[in-house]
Structure 1
């Protein structure tokens, strides 16, 4: 039994849902982050003095870089969730096909 592969019923859906939830939560965090650290928020924080222009540019650049990184992670988590859903669908189809091959009928069949 140690060499046999086993795919728990619903495990793929559950894992996909967890990744989807994390991606959703990260997206919500990103929106809040962009609101608090966007160009307008930074400019308001440092003002429009000549000396603050360089600081504004540095912080805006940092904010944009951080937001881009979070966007990348969000998209990656979303892709993982999609991939897990596809694997789960394929596994279910293959399981049904193998069951039919070995004579097992669906619950609705007589």
Structure 2
């Protein structure tokens, strides 16, 4: 076990965190566009006010709301993953600095 080492590349973790946050941002923007194009007003305008279309309109509005809710949950989760990765990087960096202070930096612990 003593011969096994672990190494954390803080730059790579931060790159991964930013990637998660960027995907979250992109999905949020896509959701805004989707909501504008499929929201209740847009769907009602598309189907008109015919009595026969009320059931179909209601189904589409409900489906649109369900999709929007799922997309929001996904982009929120992606953002949380990005934030957690940043926290992991920060925590390990602080830990690395503490170990360096205890054992000396790059001198094999001498």
Q: Same fold (TM over 0.5)?
A: yes
> CA 1:2–1:51 in structure 2 vs 1: closer, same or farther (change >3 Å)?
farther
* Structure 1 residues 36 and 2: CA distance shift in structure 2, 3 A: farther
Classify 1:2/1:102 alpha carbon distance in 2 versus 1 (closer, same or farther; 3 Å).
closer
Distance 1:40 1:12 in 2: 43
- Kindly report which structure 2 residues correspond to 1:69-84, keeping only aligned pairs within 5 A, or say none: 69-84=70-85
Structure 2 unpaired stretches of 5+: none
**Per residue, is there more helix in 1 or in 2?**
2
Q: How far is the alpha carbon of 1:28 from its aligned partner?
A: 0.3
Return the TM-score normalized by structure 1.
0.90
How many residue pairs get aligned? The number is 105
Alpha-carbon shift at residue 2 of structure 1 (Å): 7.8
Counterpart residue number, 1:99: 100
Alignment of 1:1-110 (within 5 A): 3-104=4-105
Q: Distance in 2 between matches of 1:2 and 1:85?
A: 28
Runs of 4+ in 1 over 6 A off after TM superposition: none
- The gaps in structure 1 that reach 5 residues or longer are 106-110
CA distance in 1, matches of 2:4, 2:103: 21
